Amino acid sequence: MSTNGIDRRDFLIAGAAGLAGLSSAKNSLAAELIALPAESGGRQIAALNHGWLFSEKSNPGGTGKAFNDRAFKIVNLPHTNKLVPLNGFDEHDYMFVSVYRKHFRLPAIDPAKRVFVDFDGVMTAAKVYLNGEFVGENKGGYNDFSFEITKIVSRAGDNVLAVEVDSTERKDIPPFGDMVDYLTFGGIYREVRLRIVAATFIENVFARAENVLESDRSLRVGVGLSGQSGPDGHEITAELFDGGKTFARQSMKFAPNADGKTEEGSELTLDGLSGVELWDINKPKLYDLKVTLTISGKTVDSYATRIGFRKSEFTPEGFYLNGKVLKLRGLNRHQTFPWVGGAMPARVQRRDAWILRRELKCNIVRTSHYMQSPHFLDACDELGLLVLEEIPGWQHIGDQAWQDLAVRDLESMINRDRNRPSIVLWGVRINESRDNHDFYTRTNARAHELDPTRQTGGIRYRYDSEFLEDVFTMNEFGFPLRPPRHPRYLITETNGHMYPTKRFDNVMRVREHTHRHARFHDGVASDKGYAGGLAWCAFDYNTHDYFGSGDRICYHGVSDIFRIPKPAAGFYKSQCDPSEEIVIEPGFDWARGDENETFTDAFLCSNCEKLKLYIGDRLIAEVEPDRKTYPSLKYAPFRVNLHAGIGKGWDDLTIEGFIGGKLVKTRKMSGKGVERKFIVTADDDELAADGRDMTRIVFRVTDEFDNTLPFAFGAIQFTITNGEIVGDNPAVLIGGCGAVWVRSTMRKGPIRLVAKHPRHGAKTIEIKAV
């Protein structure tokens, strides 16, 4: 398994990405001279992700500038404080207080500039020190936070940024206080940056598209400032870009407040935007917005964000996007991965959005049960995947201080993500908690204050729960579904713990698992009062000992913990229009001994109009979708009795799909039960040579038609050059397949991974590190 650390000599020889120079630092790794990018309208942002020093032990004085940290391990961010096994581990192994230290020097900068350090996420509480001086503390593992270090940072000599990270499950911090059905892991698991800005700078920008469905579309741009403007006030310029080309531009002058401060309230409007394209799930058009601040004729700061023009609304008649009804079909997602928890870089986070939108064909995801990686949400914006984003928590509501942190989380979530077109609903309740009138009146009101453009929901499990939000969001685990209780009604969980399924379970359980997902979405489609439904869940995930299957994994996903689809994933895939992809996904493994040696109810998911099934060269069945069982689905599953055909001899199964009377797809499954292929694939063929970038490597044993054989076993041995394996080595096949991830080093050139199966030989994957 990867050590998640870097050899000290390798770091000094190769250098970190963006490393401009090294200087000696007493008792320490040399301090990195921060390479600041050219000023962008007055501000400079530099990543602080390389060359951190890490200790699992919180040493006395470990946050001091002169502390001897030579025994610390060199790591890059994102970083998990403890690599854990795939399953069967003790979650207390990562629950400790650790220390991270970063040595750096600033290049020459304007002495009037202000300096901030920005953290995207540290699990669970972080005390931040600079040069031994306490800077501030953040409680919470999912919110982003910043501290100003202007008066502490040395502008001429070495600096030591130290972070004491408490990764225990503290009862004073959401989501903790009682049981939690997921693991949080630990460490500085998201990115860190230095931000250098003018004395007065743009703190935030909120862009609100108006009259989106009319010809007089416009964009209201609200700008929050920090600092003082000049005696004549300040000027704000907003520019809208389409692929680098200016689409619209508007400037406006503002007078200073009585005390000279300009903290909030600067707002201007871009008019005449009839030519903008709308953001939609099938064509997610994005625009770049740049806001510039000018004081006394000098540009002092600029702020860039991406936006999309769209109108979303939950109504009694369902969910509408850009004036058209859209039945929401989605899954819940946990942000954690095997071995490293949440500490995956941008590429891997983005891949999850791709899997949900392109592989599983979902149109919405819920970020259960917390704010998730900005990289994941970036991909949702780009791919047209709608998002329900919610605050951290699981059933428990703590005391007043705990509730204050939950409101802080809400504010952080909305301020960070309110410009994203993908987000259509804010979750303002603690997942499945009991009613708390005062608390939830407060969260709902604060959400509307920060973002009046979006509706709110709150995930509950009580059908008679008090309704304070805009949308009644309900976890519904029974069937048939209860009728919508309120005019705006969205089901946010189903299945999950009611029917956990492993990919190597017997064919009857696998079939039933698939059926239950299809049954749920058929029920949702039966009534316009259901805006849609999100099932539990997309991917298997690690959890506490009191949940899951006793091995620290909840097998609730339609895909496994490696993001490899189970048969139930085929149902979601089959719900796309055939113009996007023609789908034939059997809900079974073609093995004669399963289901008491019969296939009286074979289950197939497809968006074809008709299927023909052959055993060998004998036509056994010609079937249409089962609209009796699934009357409301546009693409209902197929169910067919193959028993009579099997009785005349076992052979390969051929499935032909027809649309408009024409054969459009053929799927074959071997009847031999023999392992024929060892297939190894990488999600990406190119990585950044930065010591951080990663990609998934999937390995499978299949029949001659590339169908994964769920009862194939074996240990896969890996060797790698110019890269690092994150995962088990050797790795075992689980349900005929598995995955590891490969991390780049800081050396350019090919990364070569050789995967060797004990019977089927070796396969080589080559990835460019650039």
Strands 602-606 and 584-586: antiparallel
Question: CA 137, CA 146: separation in Å to the nearest integer?
Answer: 10
CA 744 to each of CA 3, 686, 747, 753, 767: distance values in angstroms, whole numbers, following the listed order: 14, 10, 8, 12, 9
Q: Look up residue 593 and give its two tokens.
A: 């001994």
Other CB atoms within a 10 A radius of the CB of residue 145 amount to 19
Cα–Cα dist 174/377, whole Å: 22
User: Is-contact 186 122, C-beta < 8 A?
Assistant: no
Report the first-to-last Cα separation within the chain, whole angstroms: 24
Cα–Cα distance between 593 and 581 in angstroms, integer?
32
Q: Which residues contact 719 (CB under 8 A, 6 or more apart)?
A: 753, 754, 756
Q: Which residues are catalytic?
A: 432, 493
Continuous H helices in 130-222: none
Distance CA 86, CA 84 (A): 7
Going across the sheet that includes 44-47, the strands are 44-47, 192-197, 114-119, 145-148
Inter-axis angle of helices 400-417 and 437-450, nearest 10: 20
How far is the C-alpha of 272 from the C-alpha of 164, rounded, in Å? 51
Residues of the chain by 3-state class (helix, strand, coil), percent to 5:
15, 40, 50
Q: Which residues contact 488 (CB under 8 A, 6 or more apart)?
A: 314, 315, 316, 455, 470, 471, 472, 531
* Token couple for 394: 């699981």
**How far is CA 612 from each of CA 576, 603, 656, rounded to the nearest angstrom?**
21, 13, 5
The span from the CA of 560 to the CA of 570, in Å, is 13
User: Exposure pattern of 729-748 as b/e (b: 16+ CB <10 Å)?
Assistant: bebebbbbbbbbbbbbbbee
